[in-house]
Structure 1
């Protein structure tokens, strides 16, 4: 660094001194030449005046005498030229008769009415000469140009002396400046060397190193900033080390597998639980492409989808190394100070195999119980018919009990049907069966069926359905059941004189279905549990209106089977609004 600065300093100094010297030399030379030109022009004008005052000087002999006489006095060569370029008189007597001067540049310019100037080598006097040609304004018609010339020997001598003086001054100043510059640069570089040495020590892990520079200039400011940076760096390293220790302890203690990849799909984190789950060693996968790891260890390729789709939660089933059901939560890795920038993706894996197994057992149990209940329900129905036929003497009592039995029987039938429907929806194989669904037609059909029910309860059913809704794919009966359940639920919990609205339209690439009522509403604390099986907001009222507690659970599962989502907005005493959003997808 010091050598580079010294070389650059030397070059700048050399160039600046040379430029200064040569520019000065050029300026002096130009000024000297201009002064000679002005002197020759003045002399030429004086000669013109002398000739004009003495008419007898118009002949060639007198002109020759005048040119020789004045030329010696002004120490310049005088040449008088006629209109044809012929020399009428010349200070040098042996130059007559001279060659025609009409082709000389300065003479041509003077004949054009301008003052001619020219510097060139003269073959007559064997010297570089300065020529000034003045156009004649004399009354004598034979005189056209008065030319004066002077040799530049003196100018060359002056230039030579100036060159020597300038060269000597440049050499002296250059040597002096180099000596001073070398010492100055050396002193300037000393604190920089200290900073470099301290930075090397810090780079090697010695974070306690600092520089001691006593200076009030930029170098001192740099040293202060360097020490401040070193303090901050030392504190940051300590904090990072502490955070890293805590992070490792946290990862070790976590029972959930965690996998993280960068934007290039290279694995950057693979904790112990992930090793145990996939039977893979961390050292064998870190830094490798997730696709390469999956291929090498025969892992399920659904893991690729986890890191490539935009879902924050996804559930997959894997068959290797063991058959498991995994719920994977993914989040982008972002910086606190730059949340827009994404560094990769981290996945938290939850093994829900046992949970899903228990749920399936529960579903199977409900199915079996429902089938078992059908037989006694058939008997009860027959018994009711027998009693109504008059088998009991007290007809009033008999009819009252029969009505109760009939109501309970209907409720049990609805419960069984709902359980069976929910069980069917949860069946994975049934979910794979898809048909074309025309939402507009189905919604109109359901509205026509529900309208009489609403009218019987003095409830106004208002429909705003776009009949040209795009086709979706799924189970037609389920989709119909979805709308029926929502409308039936709205009518049940809306008092007489209320309103229920069914709205359906397309927005972006989704079908939006809204069922809105002016009923009793739902407390905020109950909304989060609304779709749970057998959950009732008001158990007494639900039983009174004939609710089974499974209607909204069925709605939720049907919506999920259509890859949609459902939202609830409700306020007590003002009504409830269910919004179903179903994506318009092509048939699988």
Structure 2
């Protein structure tokens, strides 16, 4: 900026000085020429008077030539006298040869008309530029013209001298003016430069900077306004930053995923919960179409409909990427505060209902299975009771067999109800389970002694390999015992006579590992993932035959979860199964 101002200033100054110099030169030359013309006219008038006084010698051209020659030398002027026919009678600058007729000269023509003739031109006679002045003279012997001329060589010298001095003046003036002007412009530009530098630093975030200009002129006033603007800007940005921080904190703290889109369905905002749900980075999602973030055509169509109809809705969608989820989406239009009728997009609040739907499905299956499991023994009991009440059976042995069946079904029904209540109790007590001291070695020994007669009655060998000094863990002692009983009971039930069941317990790293291994019928690989579901049976007929309720392993799983542990299963059909329980040791 300073350079531009200086260049403009320099050009204006140069033009002004040049115009002044050339106008001065022209004025001096014009003034000199006017003085020269007046001088020639005065001399011409004196020569006229001289000729009139000496009229009797007028025809004596030789005498006149000599007198004019002397006079011309005295006044350093060329004197020429021409008759009325253009013939030269006297020429003080005469050269060799014949002097041509002067009748057609412009100054002579003017003199013939009775005027003062003036002309400037190159003279072939003397080979110089000349100024000519011609005056008419009336004598008794006829009309003649007295013409005086001077060389313009002197004025050329004067012009050259003037040009030289003017050039020196222009050069000196330009240098001095440029130095003064540069310093003056630099002084003016200093506060502007300071404001520019401060504004650059403020653009990088240093909003506390200010400019200091002591002058009281317009630039000082500009600096004051700049500082005032900086204060207001700092306050405004602080408020915006505070609001933005609070907004981000609020947005981050909301557990529900939130995504906002503009009227073109491009994402303009999403919170941390949405990033986690769809496994995306916020910076990568901003500006993209909603279909690029959530690949669901139904959602895209619903957003389009909401934007067109201005009707807020809620829908349920199923997404496959990054993993299959059931989502409930609430749409709300974004309206301008000062113009509620104008919308700039919409915000979607998403609720992950995958677990809810899964629980609803499990509950539905559970109710169905419970109903079925309860209905079967009840139907059997009801049928035999009706038969016995009808008194159509007189055979006591048959009656006793029917009563035995009713007793078996009643016992089965009792076990089923007990298992359902146990499972319900464990599920409802996960967060308030007892934290008792549990000694795994003692508990495993007790359960082994408890289950040994059951295994012996079936002809199965129950053995154990238990470390004698297993560390203590915390949890519900009764649940721990129930877990062991269910695992060993399952192993005995599905192991044929002559088989073996092995109970082991040892410490590995920071865990207690308990395994129950049998040589039973085994479990098909396709059934392993569903083994711990409620009422799931690999062989339903065999399970009912051996008295299984289908809840034993589900109870085992929830007990292990209460101890913050995990369970694994390895099985091969015809060779047996191995259940491995891993329980962490709390430090």
TM-score normalised by L of structure 2: 0.46
Which entry has the higher C-alpha Rg, 1 or 2? 2
